[in-house]
Structure 1
Amino acid sequence: MIRSTLLATAFLSVAPPAAAQSTFERLEAVAVTINGMMFDTMVAQTPALEGNMPSAEWSDGLRAAYTCMYDGFVAEVGEPAMEAMVASMEAQLDTITPEEVMNGSADIDNPEGLSDAQAAEIVADCGMMEAFMTHMSSTGALQILMQDG
């Protein structure tokens, strides 16, 4: 489920060492990187998106949704499980391809102890999809995709 959540989200950003960042800040860096991969692939697939994609950086709406999701996940499984999930995601950034991000085959799992159903409920309750759609609409990208698709 995290896979689709993160897809609901700058091409390789340079992050400070993990020890200098909170787990949430590290999650943001990973999500921004994955969003950048996804956005670049979307432009390659739909040239009309060129110049119309939002920043891969989080908007206020995305930050609020991710904060809600993070807090919900931590409430269910604890900070250590979230740290392990983020560490796994960081390690995958060296090998993950934009195609894997786009087609959903990237091996990004929920934190240990959180089922897909629990994750889906938290993501929905936090308005993640709505926040992502608003982010994509802010530059006209969603409208272009709807016309093109």
Structure 2
Amino acid sequence: MLLHYASLSWLHFVFAFILVGALAAEAFILRLPIDGRVARLLLRVDMFYGVSAVLLILAGISRVLWGEKGWEYYQVQPFFWAKIATFVVIALLSITPTRAFTRWVKAYNADAAFTPPEAEVKKVRRLVTIEVHLIALLLLFATLMARGIGQS
């Protein structure tokens, strides 16, 4: 059983690190001048981000249902719910950058001279930066949750 619990934890961590890596890559790439090649790269990295988010959720659900602590532990843990709420906020914030990357690629495919408006690039960069900061908050909640802090 120990190997089972360890495997679920490992999967959860792997997908979390992929997600954080993809988000950090987006933040870095958004500092470059946006041309067609960069827009396509952003869209590819964003795909990794999205897929890792889905796999992270599935791994997390697996840990809650079949992991060591079980649903009884998590359902009364306030930092679990804070972590979930933060993840939902991050997911909602990520919609705008994904839509922008898709729109930029389509615009470049239609017109090689297209340049996204600087205000839009700044907005997307700001949203990605906020997501990165919220990941740090999510990690705090995860740490507190794992230690049982806040549980009555």
- One fold, TM greater than 0.5? no
| TM-score range for the pair, normalised by the shorter chain length | 0.3 to 0.5
The TM-score, its normalising length taken from structure 2, stands at: 0.33
The TM-score, its normalising length taken from structure 1, stands at: 0.33
Which has the larger helix fraction?
A: 2
Question: Who wins on radius of gyration, i.e. which is larger?
Answer: 2
